[in-house]
Every structure is written in C-alpha cells, then in structure tokens.
Amino acid sequence: MNIADLVNEKNTGLPPKNAPVDGKLRLEQVNLYYGSFRAVKDLSLDIDTCSITAIIGPSGCGKSSMLRLFNRMNDLIASARVEGLVEFDGVDIYQAGVDVVELRKRVGMVFQKPNPFPMSIYDNVAFGPRRHGIRNKRALDEIVEKSLVQAALWDEVKDKLDQSGLSISGGQQQRLCIARVLAVEPEVILMDEPCSALDPIATLKIEDLMRTLTSTYTIVIVTHNMQQAARVSDMTAFLMVDDDRSGTLVEYGATSEIFTNPKNQKTEDYITGRFG
Amino acid sequence: MRKNYERSLKALQDEVLVMGSMVEKAILRSMEALKNRDLELARQIIAEDNAINQKRFDIEEQCVELIATQQPMAGDLRIIIAILNMVVDLERIGDHAEGVAKIAIMIGDEPPIKPLIDLPRMAERASQMLREALDAFIRRDVPLAKKICDDDEEVDNLYNQVFRELLLIMAENPRTIGRATRLIWVAHNLERSADRITNICERVVFIATGHMEDIGASKY
C-alpha cells in the first residue's frame, strides 16, 4: 500500500514522487551561514538516485551542516542562511512555496543517537503515517510490518510490538528509527553518524541494511569512520576546513577511487591518517 | 600522527631493499660460480636461497599484519599491495639464481665449449636492472621504472644471441649438446629474471600512479 494513495494530493511545491531526473540531489555553489560565520563554502555536487554517498572529513568541517541542507534541517537554527541552489529531483527546495513537512517526509533523517519516541515499537513506526492522516488499522499494520521487515528488525520484535521502543538494544533502537523513517516512504535517507553509538556487530547490521535499502532509496551518510565510508558507500565526498574556517569540498568521487587512489594530496593525507 | 605505523611502513620497505640486495648478490655470485667453476660457492648460493625464501614470508607476514591492524588506505595500501607482489618476483629471481648455481654443479669439471662472455653480461645487466628497480621503488620514479622495462630488450637480445650461438655449436659438434643445453638453461634463467624485474617496475608505477599497466612486454 502506498501512502500517496491514502493521503490527499496537495500542492507541495515539490516534484512528483520519483520524478525521472538525472541526479536525485544537487548542490550548486552552496554557501551556508550561521549568522556571519560561513559554515560551508561553494559546495557543488550531484548525488545519483539509489546510491550511497558518504561525507567524510575532520571534526567541524561542515559534514552535518552539508547533510542538513538536503532536508532544510538548518531552517531550525534561527541564524542559518543558505545561498546557492539545493535541488531535490530538479527542484530548488529553498524556493518559496515548498512544503517543508512534505520535503522532510520524502527526505528522511536518521540521527547519531537512536531516538525512539517514548511509546511502543508499533506506535513509533506508525507515528509518521498517522501524522500524515492514515487511521485505518489494517493499513497501519501493513505499513508497520513492511517497515520493520525493511529495517531488518521484524523478526526480533514481531512478538513484542506493544513494548516500549526504549526497551530494546541500541542497535535495535537505531533500526527502529530507520523503520520509522521508512514508514513514510521517503526517497532519500540522510544519516548523521548513525552508528557512532553502536557496537561493531550492530554497526555491521546497519551497514548491511543500508546496502539492501540502496536498491530503493538514495542514502547520504555522514561518518567519522572512514572504514565505514569505504565499506558501505558508492561515492565519497571529502570535506575540509579552509583557511577562513569554512568547510569546503576537497574531493568527490567513486569510493573505490578515493580510498585507493585519491587525486588530492589532502584527501590522501586524511584517509591515510596523516592529519585530521 | 601515527608514528608507529609510519615506522612500520618504512621498516617494511627497508626489508624489501634488504631482500632485493640478497637477490642481486645471488644473481652475480651464481654467475661467478659458473664462470670460475666454483662448486663450493654454488652450494653456498643454493643454501642461501632458503634465507631469501624466508625473507619473502617474513615480509608477507608484516604486510598482512599492517593490513589487519592499521587498515592502510590509498598510497599506503598501494605500497603494501605492490610489495606483496614484488616479493614473489624477487623470490622467483632468487630461484633462478639458485637454478644457475645448480647448473654450475651439473656442469662440474666438464671441459668448456666456449669462453663465457654473453652470459656474464646478461647477469651483469639483470643485476643492474634490479638495483635500478629498487631505486625506482624507493624514489617512486616512474620514468626510471619505464626505462628499466625498455632495458629488458637488451637482455632479450643477448638471450637470442647466446641461443643462436649455442645452436650453431651443437649443430657443428653434436657431442656438445649436453653442455650447450645446460648453458641455454642458464641463459633462460637470466632472461626470466630480467622479465620479473620488469614486473617489479610495473608495481613501482602502480604505487606512484595507482594504475596497473603492462609496460614490459618481453619477446620471450
């Protein structure tokens, strides 16, 4: 069952779902300011549909700021200001008339620390669809099961859906958060250090899940863990702080190239652990 | 940053140089044994080949350990992968030198069929190529690596010359066939050694550029 069939179509200022365009996300000469401080500078890159892109770089280089450009999460910071073009399916998402709630439904986000709501596992997953107007119990059951299956969590929680989302392990909680994102059928999933609070086994499970999800979803992940970027992503973007303390894109390319034969000496120095 | 890791990576490359000089010495000394009919020296070279083989295993172990514990990336990863290949070639060149020493023993005190001129020249050329290849490795010198591959043609030409000359001697006097054939084996060992040195040069190019390319197409 498709959520779009269940909710009323409305003018969101966004393109139709899965519009056939080259590149799912696009940045063109994007600058992001927090007050007078320029956090990221002149970012330009294209992200393909159904791919995993990793954003790596030293602490404070603007990785998370860059990620939050894609679903206007920086809007929540009063002093934030964006210049340049940020496109989702070929549409400028910062133009007037864009429905930000709809945008964030289609460009979902998973955070560093698992943040299930203090409610049952079922209600956690059903939360989004309910907010978007789905009340039918059977429809909700279907969405909850499908989302938990996709998040590779169903078998572990199917007998305790009414238990608190906070009662399961950290790795399970993070997969629950992914299921919660999947329940509203996004097209893009942004992940901000999704494994940094997890143990190695839980981390590998999430990575495995990401590879599975990439057949349907476009994933952008910020990670401190270079091995994780190398393991999981198709493309890697390396950001670094410039002389004026703004984050700039040093190199963007196929992960296999970046980790074996980077073009830029700064990338080489960073990924071989010589600075950062 | 990563001082211990840097030290290990440097030590690993130093070990390759040590192994390279052991092999270079083996090439020259095996020719000396053949030329001077020094059977004692020949036996020594055969015994010393074990040390070369052991060095290869030691270096491979160090590579595996660095990969497992340090997760090397980019240029560092290329160095280690290249070394894993280079030590195989070096070890095989050592085997070729051992082969020459064994032939020297086989020939023993049989009367010579001709003065040895081109074979020592081949050995000299091969050992020089190896020395330069190790230089190119340390300096990441792509032009030098490519030049060494070009030099291989000289060894190929010498091989061809030795081969034809020995064929002629055999045709003229069939009683020399046994001895001449052994000398052809020697030439073959040296020709293969030079080819393997071009493989090492290809790895040097890989370290420096990240590209694998066949730059030393031998005639044989």
What is the CATH topology of the domain spanning B3-209? Methane Monooxygenase Hydroxylase; Chain G, domain 1 (1.20.58)
Confidence (pLDDT) at A118: 96
A96: left (phi over 0), alpha (psi -120 to 50) or beta: beta
How far is the alpha carbon of B79 from chain A, nearest alpha carbon, in Å?
11
Confidence (pLDDT) at A12: 82
CA distance B204 to B210: 10
Average pLDDT over residues A111-130: 95
Given pLDDT bands bounded at 50, 70 and 90, which one contains residue A3? low
Q: Give contacts of A268 with chain B, Cβ < 8 Å.
A: 74-75
Given pLDDT bands bounded at 50, 70 and 90, which one contains residue A47? very high
The H or E element that residue B18 is part of is helix B3-36
**Domain extent listing, chain B:** 3-209
What's A3-7+21-271's CATH class? Answer: alpha beta
Confidence (pLDDT) at B215: 82
- pLDDT tens-digit map of B41-94: 999 999 999 999 999 999 999 999 999 989 999 999 999 999 999 999 999 999
Average pLDDT over residues A41-69: 95
In the predicted structure, residue B133 carries a pLDDT above the cut 80? yes
Q: What would the two tokens of residue B86 be?
A: 């280079």
Nearest to A221 by CA among A234, A212, A205, A202: A234
Backbone phi, psi, residue A265, to 5°: -60, -35
- pLDDT tens-digit map of A61-74: 999 999 999 999 99
How far is the alpha carbon of B194 from chain A, nearest alpha carbon, in Å?
29
Rg (CA), chain A: 19
Q: Mean pLDDT for chain A?
A: 92
Q: Give contacts of B74 with chain A, Cβ < 8 Å.
A: 258-262, 267-268, 271-272
How far is the alpha carbon of B40 from chain A, nearest alpha carbon, in Å?
48
Confidence (pLDDT) at A23: 78
Average pLDDT over residues A205-229: 93
Nearest to A57 by CA among A264, A274, A271: A271
Confidence (pLDDT) at A155: 93
Instruction: Say yes or no: B68 contacts chain A, CB-CB below 8 A.
Output: no
Instruction: Say yes or no: A261 contacts chain B, CB-CB below 8 A.
Output: yes
Bridge pairing between strands A52-56 and A235-241: parallel
Confidence (pLDDT) at A197: 84
In the predicted structure, residue A1 carries a pLDDT above the cut 80? no
Cα separations in angstroms, A213 against A128, A203, B55, B168: 19, 15, 47, 71
Cα separations in angstroms, A164 against A124, A135, A167, A189, B70: 9, 21, 5, 24, 40
Taking CA atoms, what residue in B is nearest to A258? B74
